[in-house]
Amino acid sequence: MKKNMTRSLRLWVQNTLPMENLLPDSMPSYVDSYVYLFGILTVAALVWLIITGTVLAIFGPEWWHVSPVGHFFNSMHFWSVQAFFFFMVLHLWAQFMMAAWRGGRHWTWIGGWLLFLVSIVAGLTGYLSQNNFDSQWIGVQGKDAINSTGIGGFFNILNFGQMYGLHIFVLPMVIIVLLAIHLMLVRMHGVVEPLPNGKEEVDNGEKVAEQ
């Protein structure tokens, strides 16, 4: 058969990520725990961040600082980011304690860390994008810390346009792409099984529960 890039890609997707794995209708019984909800709660907070952030970007700083509805969306964006980091750190604790990098899942673990680090930069550019005295204070206080890293003027936190552009476009895109890869890897490898407790062997997912 002749080489064909489209066919090769289709076969690769079929073999590495079949639809039964991509959209499963059942999960191993050990997933029946609230500990496994922290990841999806982080994603839910990200969805709210994108929705409220889009509204804020449409109407602009004068709206979100003055109008009551603007204040509401500004607060929604703020509390969504609190929930985002709150659940992301809980997700990190849970995955660390169950050694979630086992069974060839190392790229899921490394990708999660990348997401965490990019999110911190997104949080910083968000604080700098508030367009108020807080953001000015953070910009003036933080510029020396950034300069001390050697980045210099490449990442100029006093440059509102650069910080705002990074915050509302570049960093969200990076987070969405990394998140898509992270979720795809979770679907490819399946949810990590619990660590053996010493008394009994790990349930390898033979017993399933309806999701």
Which residue ranges make up the site for other proteins (CB under 8 A)?
A: 32-35, 37-38, 86, 89-90, 93-94, 133-134, 137-138, 141, 208-210
Least Å from the CB of residue 7 to other proteins = 37
* Residue whose CB is less far from other proteins, 35 or 50: 35
* Residue whose CB is less far from other proteins, 50 or 98: 98
**Could you give the CA distance from residue 59 to residue 125 in angstroms, rounded to a whole number?**
19
- 3-class DSSP state for residue 27? strand
**Could you give the CA distance from residue 185 to residue 29 in angstroms, rounded to a whole number?**
20
Least Å from the CB of residue 36 to other proteins = 9
* Residue whose CB is less far from other proteins, 170 or 208: 208
- Nearby residues of 198 by Cβ (< 8 Å), 6 or more positions away: none
Least Å from the CB of residue 209 to other proteins = 6
* Residue whose CB is less far from other proteins, 67 or 82: 82
- Nearby residues of 126 by Cβ (< 8 Å), 6 or more positions away: 81, 167
Least Å from the CB of residue 82 to other proteins = 8
Long-range contacts of 102-110 (CB under 8 A, 24+ apart): 102/192, 103/189, 103/192, 103/193, 104/189, 105/185, 105/189, 105/192, 107/185, 108/182, 108/185, 108/186, 108/189
* Residue whose CB is less far from other proteins, 133 or 154: 133
Least Å from the CB of residue 134 to other proteins = 6
Angle formed at CA 134 by CA 130 and CA 137, multiple of 5 degrees: 120
